[in-house]
Chain A
Amino acid sequence: MTIGDVGVRGEGPQDAGAAGGVTAAPPAAPEGARLERVPDGRLVAGVARGLAGHLGVDVMIVRAAFVLLTIASGLGIAAYGAFWILVPAREGTAGRRGRDWGQLAVYGVVTVGLAALPWGAAGKAGGLMQWAVWPFVLGGVGVAILWQQADRDQRQRWVLPLRQRWLRSLLGLLLVVGGIGGFVAQRVDVGQARSVIIAMLIILTGVTLIVTPWVVRLWQDLDTERAERVRSQERAELAAHIHDSVLHTLTLIQRNAQDAREVQRLARSQERTLRSWLYQPRSDPDQTFAAAIKASAGEVEDDHGVPIEVVCVGDTELDDRLGSALQAAREAMVNAAKYAESPSVSVYAEVEGKKVAIFVRDRGKGFDLDQVPEDRMGVRGSIIGRMERNGGKATVRTAPGEGTEVRLEMEKA
Chain B
Amino acid sequence: MSELKRVVLVDDHQMFRTGVKAELGGGVEIVGEAGDVDEAVSVIRATTPDVVLLDVHLPGGGGIEVLRRLNGVVPSRFLALSVSDAAEDVIGVVRGGARGYVTKTISGPELTDAIGRVADGDAVFSPRLAGFVLDAFAATDVPAVDPELDQITQRERDVLRLIARGYAYKEIAKELFISVKTVETHVSSVLRKLQLSNRHELSRWAAARRLV
Min distance, Cβ B124 to any Cβ of chain A, angstroms = 16
* Given A309-B127, A311-B164, A346-B166, A279-B135 contact (CB < 8 Å): no
Which residue on chain B has the smallest CB distance to residue A359?
Answer: B165
Chain A interface: which size bin? 10 to 19
Of A280, A307, A363, chain B has the most CB atoms within 10 Å of the CB of A280
B residues within 8 A CB of A178? none
How long is the Cα–Cα vector from A363 to B128 in the complex, in angstroms? 18
How long is the Cα–Cα vector from A20 to B134 in the complex, in angstroms? 34
Q: Are B165 and A348 in contact (CB under 8 A)?
A: yes
Q: Are B131 and A279 in contact (CB under 8 A)?
A: no
Min distance, Cβ B49 to any Cβ of chain A, angstroms = 29
How long is the Cα–Cα vector from A325 to B48 in the complex, in angstroms? 51
**Contact bitstring A258-294, B, C-beta under 8 A = 1, else 0:** 0000000000000000010011111000000000000
Q: Are B166 and A279 in contact (CB under 8 A)?
A: no
Interface check A314, CB cutoff 8 A: yes
Min distance, Cβ B72 to any Cβ of chain A, angstroms = 30
How long is the Cα–Cα vector from A251 to B210 in the complex, in angstroms? 31
Interface check B138, CB cutoff 8 A: yes
**Contact bitstring A280-321, B, C-beta under 8 A = 1, else 0:** 111000000000000000000000000101011110000000
Q: Which of A282, A309, A405 interacts with B212 by CB under 8 Å?
A: A282
How long is the Cα–Cα vector from A280 to B209 in the complex, in angstroms? 8
Interface check A361, CB cutoff 8 A: yes
Q: Are A314 and B165 in contact (CB under 8 A)?
A: no
Interface check B105, CB cutoff 8 A: yes
Residues of B within 8 A of A (CB): 84-86, 105, 127-128, 130-131, 134-135, 138, 161, 164-167, 209-212
Residues of A within 8 A of B (CB): 275, 278-282, 307, 309, 311-314, 346, 348, 350, 359, 361, 363, 405
What are 26 contact pairs spanning A and B, CB under 8 A?
Answer: A275-B85, A278-B86, A278-B212, A279-B84, A279-B210, A280-B212, A281-B209, A281-B211, A282-B212, A309-B127, A311-B127, A311-B130, A311-B164, A313-B135, A314-B138, A346-B127, A346-B166, A348-B127, A348-B161, A348-B166, A350-B161, A350-B164, A359-B165, A361-B165, A361-B166, A363-B166
Please name the 7 residue pairs, one residue from A and one from B, whose CB atoms are nearest each other, closest first: A346-B166, A311-B131, A348-B165, A313-B134, A279-B86, A359-B165, A311-B164
